[in-house]
Amino acid sequence: MVAEILDRHGIRLARSLGQHFLVDGNVLARILEAADLAGEDTVLEIGPGIGTLTEELCRRARRVVAVEADRRLIPALEEALGAPPNLELVEGDAMRVDLAALFHPEERVKVVSNLPYNVATPLLLHLLRELPQAKRMVVMVQRELADRYVAGPGHPAYGAVSVKIGLLAEARRAFVVPPTVFMPPPKVESAVLRIDRKGSPETGPETDAFFRFVNAAFASRRKMLVNALSGGRDPYCSRAAAETALKASGFHPGTRAEELTREELLAVFRALSSPSMEARKMQ
């Protein structure tokens, strides 16, 4: 059915847009189970395609808002779904649409989506920071990305994005999905994640500053943290400042970023950001 609808509308899917449509009912059922939808829930779906998941969301939720960036798919989506009274279609790039404005400030939203693979990481961080109404997300991404999102210190996949997502939410992998359940099949395995927001959204300047610190800390994974922070063309701080911050936080100067938990990295960042340190950060 998916292929027939696409053919009627003359649509050829673009791998460059991360377009891989789920066509397996068993996987669909498992996604819905992970979302644990109730009749009063509001759902945001990003990248509905031609509505395989959207149709089931409309059957289970009070309100469904589907944001689709590819305008070619809108007529195909409308043909596949008809006009469910609880569905709102929004044409636009989810990274540019004011998502928070689509919902009442007190509305509790669940994001349930097969995220476009080419923008999954920036989109997920955008959702966590710019959509405070979203308390839970059940999303499908490439398995390699999922591994990074949930990894901890010492794991080969642990890095900057692991720390960033861990600051904002609790993420766990629900299940792995093979390429064969998509049309067209991607070249990699996928995974479904359940992500639950931590408290209030982190959108303040300290979070921006911490993210810059994390990017610098993991820019050269094998380097000691003091070298990663003080090296390169645009160093984050001086070597002396990095050594002082590590010592103040209780860590050896030879420590690497990949060895530290999110809380430990926060401690180093805050030591570097203290008033006494700021004055000599680049000295």
Catalogue all structural domains in the chain, each as residue range(s) with its CATH number. 2-197 (3.40.50.150), 205-278 (1.10.8.100)
Confidence at 74, pLDDT banded by 50, 70, 90: confident
Q: 143-150 and 120-130 are packed helices; what angle lies between their axes, rounded to 10 degrees?
A: 40
Q: Are 242 and 257 in contact (CB under 8 A)?
A: no
Does position 277 have pLDDT exceeding 60, yes or no?
yes
Does position 111 have pLDDT exceeding 80, yes or no?
yes
Mean pLDDT, to the nearest integer, of 29-37? 96
| Whole-number pLDDT of residue 1 | 57
| Whole-number pLDDT of residue 209 | 92
Q: Are 49 and 116 in contact (CB under 8 A)?
A: no
Does position 26 have pLDDT exceeding 80, yes or no?
yes
CB-based burial, 240-269: b 16+ in 10 Å, e otherwise = ebbbbbbebbebeeebbbbbbebebbbbbb
pLDDT digits (tens, 9 = 90+) for 158-198: 999 999 999 999 999 999 999 999 878 888 999 999 999 98
Record the pTM. Answer: 0.89
| Whole-number pLDDT of residue 147 | 97
pLDDT digits (tens, 9 = 90+) for 116-166: 888 999 999 999 999 999 999 999 999 999 999 999 999 999 999 999 999
Does position 71 have pLDDT exceeding 80, yes or no?
yes
What 8-state DSSP symbol labels residue 107? -
265: its two tokens: 């990295």
Q: Give percent above pLDDT 90 in the chain.
A: 70
